[in-house]
Structure 1
Amino acid sequence: MPKNPNLTLSGPDLAALLCSRVCHDVISPVGAINNGLELLDEGAADADALDLIRTSAINASVRLKFARLAFGASGSVGASIDTGEAEKAAKDFAVAEKKTEVTWNGPRAIIPKNRVKLLLNLFLVAYAGIPRGGSVDVTLIDPEGTARFEIVVKGRMMRVPAKFVEICSGTLEEAVDAHSILPYYTVLLAEECDMELKHIVSEDNITFIAEMAAA
């Protein structure tokens, strides 16, 4: 039984909402590829249409690779993942978005896949906290042992995503939907990893933290 009272989704509902999230993330670049092909059919300048197709295809590929690590099985049950894969996925994601710079600090390690999934989902929560872009600084401390992940974001119009706060505190009053499934899944992963989530807001940045729960 989850400790957080908001973690009540059934397995099928969780799977359906995560699928909706992935579809939401890739539908825009895939649609842009289709638009580029239509431009070619209409006799538009080849260079412009091909550039749109190329850029959109890269964007879709990056988003799918990120989703495979953050939401997918990524190997067998109980498998471990190289944090270097998570670093590449996060940096490629930011490059495709073209509005945020990502730095990554800490040792490269092979750790349980749910810790990697937690790290990447917390990255997305933190990323959502700077909707106008900025910087994301990820730090891994002793990832193979008493793991602690710190993600510091800076940017204009910074804010902690409201649904993340509500689900973390167990005070969400409405049903979880495709918009709130990301913070929901992040909190669920934290419980699965026996890690605690917290955030610290200062004047010039917000720090999101996942660390091993106190004994």
Structure 2
Amino acid sequence: MILPLLETMMSKNPNLTLTGPDLAALLCSRVCHDVISPVGAINNGLELLDEGGADADAMDLIRTSALNASVRLKFARLAFGASGSVGASIDTGEAERAAKDFAAAEKKTEVVWSGPRAIIAKNRVKLLLNLFLVAYSSIPRGGVIEVTLENPELDAKFKIVAKGKLMRLPPKFVEISTGEIEEAIDAHSIQPYYTVLLADECGMALGHSATTEELTFTADVVAV
């Protein structure tokens, strides 16, 4: 799945230079990083039960952490995984549900989603969710993320607006999307790298802007 995508991308954008094995390894590392914390918390809750700790508190920790891990895995399956056969299409309603559940599990960010529901190319859905992650990372203390889809089946346009305290454009995303990569890609920067990779594969141009009130991230189909 990843190797054909990489070969296509490298022919279009010389800044996307990761080999197939490195891309796969870094994406796996990213997914493990996202899941290891809630899984570790489940283990802590079980240890509390074994030690005869407060049953109610331990069970609450286990339930919350299990939900968090499940939500993150379901999101990762759509955003990073195969999600069906090569060339498959995905319902944008699945992406909406995944994004809202992801934010709800953290209980600090509200997601407002608007636009027509449609069955579109898998990589466009993956791009949309990865752009959502970029926007989510731009408001570390939470806030509101507004996702807007326009004409998703044809000349698609995705617009994601993030509002919150201490917001700022993710520097790695800015570097990679503008072709000014200063350091080697690692597990911390692989997600924005993959976002740019998907945009190039989908024939969509990424954009970003910032004001004192909001950050805006866009993806538009490039006119041929």
TM-score range, shorter chain: over 0.9
Corresponding residue number in structure 1 for 2:84? 75
Q: Deviations over 1:8-52 (max 9, x none)?
A: 001111000000000000000000000000000000111110000
2:20 aligned to which of 8, 11, 14: 11
What is the Cα deviation at residue 148 of structure 1? 0.2
2:219 corresponds to 1:205: no
Query: Which amino acid letter does the alignment assign opposite residue 62 of structure 1?
Result: V
Q: Structure 2: 5+ residue runs without aligned partners?
A: 1-9
What is the Cα deviation at residue 200 of structure 1? 1.6
Moved >4 Å (runs of 4+): none
SS of residue paired to 1:214: coil
Identity of aligned residues (%): 78
Query: Which amino acid letter does the alignment assign opposite residue 42 of structure 1?
Result: E
Alignment map for 1:1-215 (pairs within 5 Å): 1-215=10-224
Query: Which amino acid letter does the alignment assign opposite residue 36 of structure 1?
Result: G
Mapped contact 1:4–1:168 kept (Cα < 8 A): no
CA RMSD of aligned residues (A): 0.8
- Range with bigger deviation, 74-83 or 42-51: 42-51
Q: Deviations over 1:138-171 (max 9, x none)?
A: 0000000100000000001111100001101111
SS of residue paired to 1:204: coil
Distance 2:141 2:14 in 1: 32
Distance 1:130 1:3 in 2: 31
Corresponding residue number in structure 1 for 2:3? none
What is the Cα deviation at residue 182 of structure 1? 0.5
What is the Cα deviation at residue 64 of structure 1? 0.1
Task: State TM-score, norm by structure 2.
Answer: 0.94
Query: Which amino acid letter does the alignment assign opposite residue 180 of structure 2?
Result: T
Task: State TM-score, norm by structure 1.
Answer: 0.98
Distance 2:139 2:114 in 1: 20
SS of residue paired to 2:12: coil
